[in-house]
Amino acid sequence: MTQDELKQAAAEAALAFVVEDSIVGVGTGSTANYFIDGLGRMKDRIRGAVASSDASAQRLAGHGIALFDLNDVTELPVYVDGADEIDGSLAMIKGGGAALTREKIVAAVAGRFVCICDASKRVATLGRFPLPVEVIPMARAQVARALTALGGRPVWREGVVTDNGNLILDVHDLSITDPVGLESEINQIVGVVTNGLFARRGADTLLLAAPGGVQRIDAA
Ligand SMILES: O=C[C@H](O)[C@H](O)[C@H](O)COP(=O)(O)O
């Protein structure tokens, strides 16, 4: 099976978690796109969706799925999204597509975070994938210095502007021994909007696709 087929298999498995007549939280990226396409087939069984990016909103709209503003939503039973890396405790690195802040906001409202991944995303320790950090533009250099002081090597993702009008620094070479602590520590740097560690609120359920099938792993 190709990596794309595995992503699609994980995404299809997530459709079983969609609650009838509910509003669905929808992530961003190539794996989430397969989920959106599947959701399109069952659009008559849901009220609509909250999107975590302009790109996902566009794809959802293309399927005729009603879009809701998160401010108007009080109940979001399920959020489905991919990840760049996920560890044994279901903590993740996200933001390879620069959508981390909206993803974290929508996920925070959701009752259950279902992560959909192909097996290549599963790691013992987070950090081989450079950690994306969304930064207010005028603070780019000072945040980069603070991230260097933490032991990382920040690289500005030049040319990329987030849906919120901000910049991304990708932090290489971090030793992530305490994902929960590091997530909080980086968020304390003035000028940081948020970082791509999803550890304080990780996934509740992982659907991990390998050639042998899709494995379900629930958080302890
Ligand atoms: O900003 C992007 C998101 O965090 C994605 O969920 C993540 O990058 C995984 O994307 P993909 O499914 O394309 O590997």
Question: What does the DSSP assignment read for 29-66?
Answer: SHHHHHHHHHHHHTGGGS-EEEESSHHHHHHHHHTTPP
26 contacts 80 by C-beta, under 8 angstroms: yes
How much is the pLDDT for 175?
Answer: 85
User: Is the ipTM beyond the 0.85 threshold?
Assistant: yes
Q: 50 forms bridges with which residues in the sheet?
A: 25
Q: Give yes or no for residue 83 CB within 6 A of ligand 1.
A: yes
- Does the annotation flag 29 for ligand binding? yes
The second-level CATH assignment, the architecture, of 3-124+200-218 is 3-Layer(aba) Sandwich (3.40)
Q: Which residues of the chain fall below pLDDT 50?
A: none
Q: Per residue in 118-127, pLDDT tens?
A: 999 999 999 9
Distance of CA 36 from the midpoint of ligand 1 (Å): 14
How much is the pLDDT for 96?
Answer: 98
Q: Per residue in 172-183, pLDDT tens?
A: 999 899 999 999
Question: What's this model's pTM, rounded to 2 decimal places?
Answer: 0.97
* CATH topology match: 3-124+200-218 vs 131-195: no
What gap in Å lies between CA 95 and CA 72, rounded to an integer?
25
Identity at 163, one-letter amino acid code = D
How much is the pLDDT for 71?
Answer: 98
Measured from the Cα of 29, ligand 1's closest atom is: 13
The domains of the chain are located at: 3-124+200-218, 131-195
95 contacts 196 by C-beta, under 8 angstroms: yes
Q: Is 204 helix (H, G, I), strand (E, B) or coil?
A: coil
Distance of CA 131 from the midpoint of ligand 1 (Å): 12
How much is the pLDDT for 147?
Answer: 98
CATH number of the domain at 131-195, please? 3.30.70.260
Distance of CA 46 from the midpoint of ligand 1 (Å): 24
